[in-house]
Structures are given as structure tokens and as C-alpha cells.
A and B are shown apart, each in its own frame.
Chain A
């Protein structure tokens, strides 16, 4: 099993719809989790951290399921500007050096 696994997509979603995608991780001792967003030909940028109780940031909701070892990202009322690649990131340790990136899920919002 890969350390961090994501469905590469692409997910083609009409504007205004709700879309969700998951990411699975193999190391049950992983301690922190993140979603990064990467626009075409740009650098990855932190979208949000994922907390154990789940958390929301505007239209974005992140969930963590430790028992099944996956995290999810839900986007409500999707906008054209949400089109990007979403990278799941798992930190197996406590510091900055334990980060593992998934290959990303490509999302296309269609007008």
C-alpha cells in the first residue's frame, strides 16, 4: 500500500455542485494531516489543516477518519476558481520533516 494514496481524477464537476474526495494513508501512527492546493504551473499552497474533530473553512470541510485511515475534503457550491489539483499531505512524525505528499486529485469545475 502506498504511503498516501489519492484518486488522480480528473473530477469534472458543474459549477455550484458539491464535490468530495478522499485520501488514504498507510501509517496508522501519522499525527497531522493537511490539504494543499496546486494551480496549473504553480507551487503548492496550504489550503487547510485537518483536525481530528473535522473542521470547516468557508465552503471547504475536512474530515479525518483514523479508524479507516483516510481524510476527506468536501467543497460546497463549487466555483470555477476551485479548479486545481488538491494534494493530500500526511505527517508521520511530529516535526516538519515527516511530510508525505499524495500525487493529487485533479478537479475541473465546468461552467
Chain B
């Protein structure tokens, strides 16, 4: 197991386009998280899955954002009609317990 994988590493898109990111967690981890990080800030929680169920979603997450985790394995995060304010590093993390997250390397989104 090589840890948490995220794809792509970088994404440049035009404003108004849709983008989708993928996260492959550590296989035995049943919990999966998405965070967003902008310059000078800490990771900001977006959403949480336990197996395939999405159990919590940040109120900051607009309707343009949607996440799925079919079959409780990999997860996708889609942003529709991207805006410049969506430019950020999108981090995925997985966990098996309360002992902490294992983070991926992130996907850096730039909206131009």
C-alpha cells in the first residue's frame, strides 16, 4: 500500500468549467475526508465519509460541490461551474480510527 493517492496533482481550468478529483485511500481505512487549503490557512473541512455513507458536509460547501464514495473505496470530488475563489489545494485524508489522518499529496486547482 502506497498511502493515500490523489489525482490529478495539478488542474488548471477556465472559470465556469466542471472539474473532478479522485482520491484513493489506504485500503483498510473506512473513513475518508476532503479538506481544502488556501495560502496561509490551515486545512478546512469539506466532507466526511464512513464507508460509502457521506455523514457530514461543511455548511461552507456550496451546492456546486459534490462528493461520492461508491462502494466505500475511492472517492471523487466534483466542482461544477468553477469560480476563481475555488482555487486552492484540495486534500484527501483517510483514517481507520481516532489515531489520526493519513493525507494525500493534494490536488492543486487553479481557476483562470
Real binding pair: no
Residues of B within 8 A of A (CB): none
Residues of A within 8 A of B (CB): none
